[in-house]
Amino acid sequence: MNKQIAIAGMGWLGLPLAHRLKILGYNVKGSVSSQEKANDLRNSGWDVFPIMISEDGVAGSVNEFLSEVKDIIIMIPSGLRRNTGSDYVLKMSHFLSEIEASEIENIIFVSSTSVYGDAQGKVTEKDLPKPENEAGRQLLQVEQLFFTSSCPTSIVRFGGLYGGSRQPARYLAGRENLSNGNAPVNLIHRDDCISILIEIVKQQAYGHIFNAVHPSHPAKSSYYIQKTKDLGLEPPSFEKEEAATSFKQVDSVHLKPHLDFSFSEEL
């Protein structure tokens, strides 16, 4: 097993993933989007390179970052929710070209359950995503770009991320008359995210699509009301409505057979 691995995007998820991989004996290379961030992480002992990906191409130390590496985990946010009008597909096609020209053999591309439409009901990896907005449509195109590339690729669609300082309930505390209170939550703890990514690498489970969402799906209203109370915050209120007729519940039929994975964190 090759013990050198690259993480494109050493942020909220990538950095703790790097820590776990280092404990397991991997040599980790990382990339960030600026020289300043690279300097900060290098001062902390990480082998990190500045890589800037734009619609014009890839700038920075990309050759150094990709050299002597067989496996890469890509978690570069699209930024599409900010409505910048950027072409994420074009940006990532440039990066994929660099990867295919390197020694990289296997790819994990971190995606999101936003590729599914909010009204698709219960979905698994066997269901065709039907994104409803531009962000979801571009993300799905990038998934397809990587999945059909010359490098065996596994796509990991994470649900709503939480853990550490990121607690979604904080953003809803005290808000009133929120909608879709009966809709199910689709969440995953950062520690489970990291465990899934590591299992793919350890088992060399490439060429698959994984929906990575905790199998428990309580209603949004009951979940966030309880979570805000647990945090000592003012609970939100939700509009009174009948049982949800339009919803999205994301489950997996691939995590268990391909990775023998079981979630360790409670919602």
Q: What digits encode the pLDDT tens for the residues 145-154?
A: 999 999 999 9
Does residue 29 sit in helix, strand or coil? strand
Contact between 108 and 153 under an 8 Å Cβ cutoff? The reply is yes
State yes or no: pLDDT of 240 exceeds 70. Answer: yes
Sign, Cα dihedral of 255, 260, 261, 264: positive
Q: Contact at 8 Å (CB) between 177 and 124?
A: no
What pLDDT shows up at residue 86?
Answer: 82
For 225-250, what is the mean pLDDT?
91
Q: 85 pLDDT band (50/70/90 cuts)?
A: low
Domains present along the chain, CATH in parentheses:
4-164+187-215+249-259 (3.40.50.720)
Residue with tokens 């939480």: 162
Contact 203, 265 (CB under 8 A): no
Phi, psi (5° rounding) for residue 114? Answer: -70, -10
Cα–Cα dist 62/82, whole Å: 26
79 pLDDT higher than 90: no
Give the model's confidence band at 242: pLDDT under 50 very low, under 70 low, under 90 confident, else very high: confident
Distance CA 137, CA 251 (A): 20
Angle at 63 between CA 60 and CA 69, to 5 degrees: 130
Residue given tokens 């979801």 in the structure block: 136
DSSP assignment letter at 71? E
Give yes or no for a contact between 134 and 261, defined as CB atoms under 8 angstroms apart: no
Alpha-carbon gap, residue 5 to 186, rounded angstroms: 29
- What is the C-alpha to C-alpha distance for residues 229 and 218, in angstroms, rounded to an integer? 16
Quick one: pLDDT at residue 245? 72
Q: Which pLDDT band, with edges at 50, 70 and 90, does 117 fall under?
A: very high
Residue 263's identity, in one-letter code, is: F
Query: How high is the pLDDT of residue 82?
Result: 61
Assign 8 to helix, strand or coil: strand
Global pTM value: 0.95
**Position 2 confidence tier, pLDDT thresholds 50, 70, 90:** low
What is the token pair recorded at 63?
Answer: 């050759």
Average pLDDT, the chain: 94
57 alpha carbon, distance to own chain's centre:
23
User: CB–CB of 110/68 below 8 Å?
Assistant: no
